[in-house]
Amino acid sequence: MTLSCIQQPHQHLQANLEDGVLTLAINRSEAKNALYGELYLWIAKALDEADTNKDVRVVILRGAEQDFTAGNDMKDFMGFMQKPHEGKAGDQPPFVLLKAAARFSKPLIIAVKGVAIGIGVTILLHADIVFADNTALFQIPFVSLGLSPEGAASRLLVKQAGYQKAAELLFTAKKFDAATAVKANLVNDVVEDPYATAQQTAQHLAALPLASLKQSKALMKKDLAEIIACIDEEAEIFMQRVRSPEMMEAVQAFMQKRKPDFSQFNS
């Protein structure tokens, strides 16, 4: 079975399979690897295919160059806001990717350099191992945009970071460094070269019995159905917030290059 991400490569996603390790590298450096509808779905498809492909034993997700991802492409998001939405919110491209990462039954390693914003952080909650370097800068900006958490972050971030740290990162929406990400259990370790460390770790795992790795992961993720349900629940709330006046103010402020003023909504 040939992986479509290799057979028909996408212009913004590099894919390389070597010795059981599939490396997916987001390649849109001019936009700090910001994601858009088609790219979300392409990465999700690559993960789904890798999950059933016998030649893939481990997946690495990373940026091609100096950033992981700046999150949702703002121009794409504004176009998305103007379209009527039908069906389940959880079927929208960002949530399709998050659910593909959550369901992935083999080891998933993420390597972070540069920015990891929005979904660039929430997808870390679905990785098995995460490495970052000292250039990494994280942010969960949803509250500052008038939005709400995605990707089961309201559940998993509390579980991994503890309630107070999760509240701090979600409520303040401030940027934080790799050392903070380690303390919040979003990152395993800060290393000099996360791409090389991810590759070495993946090669080590690829040499181990895949059945044992998958069974171990399944045992540790017995609550997978609940996590998928949480992603869908958060997606419904998120999509309601997309139409909120606070979100409209945040978008207008972005377009006008000014600080948003939410005071009119807080009385």
- Mind listing the pLDDT tens digit for each residue in 219-249? 999 999 999 999 999 999 999 998 899 988 9
Query: What pLDDT shows up at residue 55?
Result: 97
Instruction: Provide the pLDDT confidence category of residue 82 given band limits of 50, 70 and 90.
Output: low
Residues 32-69: tens digit of each pLDDT? 999 999 999 999 999 999 999 999 999 999 999 999 99
Amino acid at residue number 4: S
CB 63 within 8 A of CB 33: yes
Residue scoring higher pLDDT (100 or 80): 100
**pLDDT, the chain, mean:** 94
Please state the pTM of the whole predicted model.
0.95
- C-alpha closest to that of 128 among 208, 205, 22, 38: 205
The residue assigned the tokens 């392409």 is: 42
- The pair of structure tokens assigned to 96 is 């399709």
CA gap 93, 187 in Å, rounded? 25
Q: Which long-range contacts (CB under 8 A, 24 or more apart) does 193-197 make?
A: 193/133, 194/62, 194/111, 194/112, 194/113, 194/131, 194/132, 194/133, 194/136, 195/62, 195/111, 195/113, 197/111, 197/131
60 vs 127: CA distance, rounded Å: 10
Mark out the alpha helices in 25-149 (DSSP H runs).
37-52, 74-81, 93-103, 119-122
> If you average pLDDT over residues 193-199, what whole number do you get?
98
pLDDT over threshold 70, residue 84: no
Q: Which of 3-12, 57-66, 207-216 has the lowest mean pLDDT?
A: 3-12
Q: What are phi and psi of 120, to 5 degrees?
A: -65, -20
Residue 94's CB: how many other CB atoms inside 10 A?
27
Separation between Cα atoms, residue 7 and residue 152, nearest integer Å: 32
Distance of CA 88 to the CA centre of its chain: 20
Give the number of other Cβ atoms within 10 Å of residue 241's Cβ: 16
